[in-house]
Every structure is written in C-alpha cells, then in structure tokens.
Amino acid sequence: MTGDLLIRGVRPYGEGEPVDVLVRDGVVAEIGTRLSATAEVLDASGLVLLPGFVDLHTHLREPGGEESETIESGSAAAALGGYTAVFAMPNTDPVGDSAVVVEHVWRRGAEIGLVDVHPVGAVTVGLGGERMAELASMASSRARVRMFSDDGRCVHDPMLMRRALEYATSLDAVIAQHAEDPRLTEGAQAHEGVVAARLGLAGWPATAEETVVARDCALARDAGARLHVCHVSSAHTVAVLRAAKAAGVRVTAEVTPHHLLLTDATLTAYDPVHKVNPPLRTADDAREMRNALAEGVIDVVATDHAPHAAQYKDTEWAAARPGMLGLQTALSVLVRACVEPGRLDWRGVARVMSQRPAEIGRLRDQGRPIAVGEPATFTVVDPDDMWTVRGAGLASRGTNTPYEGMRLPATVVATVLRGRVTAREGKVAA
Ligand code: DOR
Ligand code: ZN
C-alpha cells in the first residue's frame, strides 16, 4: 500500500492496544494492526498519539520585536512543543490592528510552514483602548481573523468592550480579554499578598482580574456574544466563571502552564524570570486552577509564550518585562501539574490542548478526532521520558524559561501537520 507516513505501534489517546496509523495525502487513510506500506515509517511503540496542540495565546514578537522572537523561531518552538497551530497576539510594532499587518503575519507563518499561524487582531487601534480597530476588514482578510484581543492591556472602557462584543458576534469572532483593571494595578509588580509584602513589591490584587471578568460576563450575556478570558490566575475568577457558565453565558477561559504549577513563593530569589502578568499567585490559587481545568470551568491550557531578549529580562525586578517562554514546556508542565496527580488523562490532555482550543478559535481542521478520514495532524508523545529544561537549548530567541534546570516528564517525539512531519526527536523539519 502506498502512503506518506506510517506511524507504527502507537496508542491513540494512550488507550487500548497499539495500532498502526497510515496517512495518505495528509489524511488518515487506515487504522489497524500490522499495516504495511511504502511510506516513511515512524516507529512509535510505547508512545501516545494525540491531536496536534493548538495554542490560543502566543507572542511571536514579529513585526518589531525580532530580538526576542521571530515568526520563524517561534514556529520552530511551537512544532518542537507539539503544536500544529498557534494564535499570535497583536502587541507587535506595528500593532496587528489592520488587515495589512495581520496578513503579513499570516503569510510569513504559511511560508515557514511549521505550524498554522493565526494572527489575533487588536480590538482597539494601536492597543490604545480608545477607538475600535477595523475588525471586519481583519476578519475578511486572507488571515480570516476570528479572535480579537488587546492582550498585554485590558479593554477597560465598558462601552467600547460592549460594542466590540456586539460587533464580533456578527463576525462569529471571539473577544479574548486580558482581564486587569488598570486602576487597581498601577505600578504593580507581584501578586498582592504576604510574599509581595515581605519583598516590598507593589501588589497586583486578584480583584483586578475578578471584577473585569464579572463585568465582561454581564456584557457578553447582554450581547449574546462570545467572550474568552485570557490567562486566569485567581481562584476568585474561577467562581465568577462557574456562575456565568451555569447561567448560560458564552464564556470560555484559559490557564497558562505556569499558573497551574508555579506560585509566588518562587519570587523570593528576586529573579525577573518569574515576573509575569498576571503574576504568579498563591498555592491555593494554583490548586484551584488545576481543579477548574479538570472540571472544565477553565476550558483550555494556553501558553502565553512571551519571549524577551536578555536586555529586557536581565535587569532589576521593577524594570524587567513580564513574560515567560511556554511553547516547548507546556506539555511537560501540564503532565507534572495534572496528569501525574491523576486529575487529567491523555484524553483530557487532548481536550484542553487541542480540541477545545480549536473550537474556540474556529479552526475546522485542527483538534479533530483521531479517525479515518480526519486530517493527519498529530503530536506523538513519549509519556515515560524525562528531560531537563535548558533555556539556551530551546528554539526561541529569548531564553526566559522559569523551569531552567528542572527535570520534567513527557517529551514530544514527533509533530505531524496534515501528514507532514514538522518536528522529530528535537529537530524541526528542514
Ligand atoms: O506576561 C505577560 N507578557 N503578560 C502579558 O499580558 C503580555 C506578555 C508580553 O507581551 O510579554
Ligand atoms: Zn495577557
């Protein structure tokens, strides 16, 4: 039998007996045992097959921030991390607030071809928070934008947020809110709590997130609109989301790997690699993130991959930019935080890393079931492998990983995008 690729001896979703998966023309042609074919063979015995990961929240920094990341280096990091699609945030220079800029990002992603790059459009012109950007022209551009966000900043004006939600609804788009009341976080450096008090760092109160999410849920309810809450960090916010979902509000939410695993206890070393927005919070908050993800109140894991060149990070705490690398460590951190303790199984990983993000981002050929006739877009995972994180060894231009030197479980053995191997054993396809 002919084919493009034969994945041999793999367990879809880590369930049942091993099978062979034959891929032809980018699609799953056959699933069975002892398949033979004149195809490239990927020996996957002992490995787990998952649908390719989809990241709703990535900073690729291009245009304008190429010293920290490029679409090329970020695409490599994504493929190596098991991602087959990423949503690129528009806080670039120039800002992704027009069809020209989002089409540039989209085209560059397609040229590189390692991962589907979907630009997120800005909600407001220049992320200024004052005038709505031309959402419809971005939606009808070749980039077909279906997610809008001013990430890095909150769409704070309630009237503007209301109009954006209403307008996005007619485009079947979602507004992804960076929920942070700027009046409550002026000068903030760390989670407002005992650790920040002891270190003398100005506090970022969890209520600055919770209150914006509560307001936005009410606005989304009235508009019948889709709202997505970026990087939930506080247990109080989870309570708001739970109530809103129970009341039928069309709200979805993401949590980052770092808010699942890390806490503000790491700040005592004053290393700005731990500075991030929203800030790392308490162990109770992190526990509630893991509960909410397992329960489905938080829908997805999104990386908030935020590379920063050394000149922006290797400074004193107050001057350092917030953000952490995420694409190549997300799976391992999720396994450590949720799979090892038994809160998620591999099907759960597929749900929060692939299926739900694809649904929220309106991607039709990602996050699909592993079945004959479906796109061959996969991540092949070794669940028993361990590795040691080294920022300098990651594909990103920035090296700002908070997991430096940590030994973490699970590695990505291969990533497959529509039948094409984009990464294999730590190397991207040429
Ligand atoms: O930590 C963060 N970094 N949070 C954001 O909201 C923005 C991001 C960035 O662009 O660096
Ligand atoms: Zn953000």
Ligand closest to Cα of 58 equals: 1
Q: Which domains occur in the chain, in start order?
A: 5-48+374-428 (2.30.40.10), 52-360 (3.20.20.140)
pLDDT for position 76: 99
Averages of pLDDT over each 10 residues, the chain, 430 residues: 87 98 97 91 97 99 98 99 99 98 98 98 98 98 98 98 98 98 98 97 98 98 98 98 98 99 96 98 98 98 99 97 98 98 98 98 98 98 98 98 98 98 95
Give the active site residues. 304
Residue nearest to atom 3 of ligand 1 (CA): 323
Residue nearest atom 6 of ligand 1, based on CA coordinates? 152
Tokens 């299926």, located at residue = 355
* 272 burial level (CB within 10 Å; 0-12, 13-18, 19+): buried
CA 115 to centroid of chain Cα atoms: 13
Q: Report the pLDDT value the prediction gives residue 39, as an integer from 0 to 100.
A: 86
Is the beta carbon of 306 within 6 A of some atom in ligand 1? Answer: yes
Q: What is residue 2's predicted lDDT score, i.e. its pLDDT?
A: 65
Question: How far is Cα 168 from Cα 160, in angstroms, rounded to an integer?
Answer: 12
pLDDT of residue 139: 98
**Mutation pick for ligand 1 pocket among 120, 277, 327 (CB with most ligand atoms within 8 Å):** 277
Q: Of 59, 61, 311, which is best to mutate to test ligand 1, by the most ligand atoms within 8 angstroms of its C-beta?
A: 59
Distance 213 CA to ligand 2 centre (A): 13
Q: Could you tell me the CA-to-CA distances from 186 to 203, 209, 270, 320 in Å, in that order?
A: 9, 13, 20, 16
* The ligand 1 atom nearest the CA atom of 151: 6
Write down the residue that tokens 């490239």 correspond to.
Answer: 40
Interval between CA 5 and ligand 1 midpoint (Å): 38
